[in-house]
Structures are given as C-alpha cells and as structure tokens.
C-alpha cells in the first residue's frame, strides 16, 4: 500500500446500542441519534428487541428518526446501532 492510499483511508466509527433521544411516551414519534448514520442504511433500529425496517417502520433524515408503523410506548426500549 502506498502512502497516498494510506492517506485516503477513511476512519469508520461504529455506535452500538445507543438510546436515541426523545420521549418514549406513546405520543412522540421523533427521536434523535447522536450522529447521522453513514451510510444511512447502516442503521439497525430495535424496539423491544425487534428489528425495524427503514420505510415501512420509520424514516431517517440525517440524525432524526420518525416512527411510522409503531409509536413507542412508555416502558419500551429503543436501541440503535450504526456507522458514522
């Protein structure tokens, strides 16, 4: 590997089991990650251990997640893992 190739390497940060910001109150549909996932498809979002799917279950815009199919209820656990 040349010096130029080494300088072109990208550092990838990984986040595991982040709890997104936002009230889990049965009304709130918007949650925020500490960083926008890059690539966006790297986001694995779980509610109570069940994997949600981008599109039918939620949308992602930058670091903002909007619930679509299910609004998290009090006591639910939301965990996000992603690259950025």
**55: in domain:** yes
Smallest Cα–Cα separation from 30: which of 62, 58, 60, 65? Answer: 65
**41: in domain:** yes
**4: in domain:** no
**2: in domain:** no
| pLDDT score of 4 | 63
Q: Residues 42, 12: contact at Cβ < 8 Å?
A: no
Residue 38: which domain range? 9-83
Predicted TM-score (pTM) of the model is: 0.87
| pLDDT score of 11 | 73
Element (H, E) at 3: helix 3-7
Helices (H) and strands (E) in the chain, counts: 1, 7
Please give the average per-residue pLDDT across 35-55, as a whole number. 97
Q: 2-28, pLDDT tens digit by residue?
A: 666 655 667 789 999 999 999 999 999
Give the E-state strand segments of 1-84 in sequence order: 14-18, 30-32, 44-47, 50-52, 58-61, 64-67, 78-83
**3: in domain:** no
């Amino acid at each position: 590997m040349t010096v130029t190739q080494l300088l072109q390497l990208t550092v990838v940060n990984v986040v595991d089991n982040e709890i997104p910001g936002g009230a889990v109150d049965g009304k709130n549909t918007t949650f925020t990650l500490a960083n926008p996932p890059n690539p966006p498809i790297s986001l694995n979002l779980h509610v109570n251990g069940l994997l949600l799917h981008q599109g039918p279950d939620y949308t992602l815009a930058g670091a903002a997640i909007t619930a679509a199919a299910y609004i998290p209820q009090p006591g639910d656990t939301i965990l996000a893992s992603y690259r950025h």
